[in-house]
Amino acid sequence: MQELENFPRIIRELRQSYGFTQQQVAEKLEVTYQSYQAYERGIALPNLKNFLKLANIYDVSLDYLVGRKEY
């Protein structure tokens, strides 16, 4: 999906704006550091549960996370 091509950049920018490390976000999502790192590198995508957790952590919509809507 073309919308998802911006997902890695979006979550990296959100994480940095909140001052979180990749390890901290991985712990919040209950995934390994390597799994979260793969999300930010565009190698893997989270499951729906973790998409929802990310949206809640950053108080944004799923549309925003996948690049379909501006914040």
2-65 fold: 434 Repressor (Amino-terminal Domain) (1.10.260)
**SS3 of the chain:** CHHHHHHHHHHHHHHHHHCCCHHHHHHHHCCCHHHHHHHHHCCCCCCHHHHHHHHHHHCCCHHHHCCCCCC
At residue 68, the pLDDT reads: 81
End-to-end alpha carbon distance in the chain: 20
pLDDT along the chain (71 residues), means of 10: 81 97 98 97 95 97 85 52
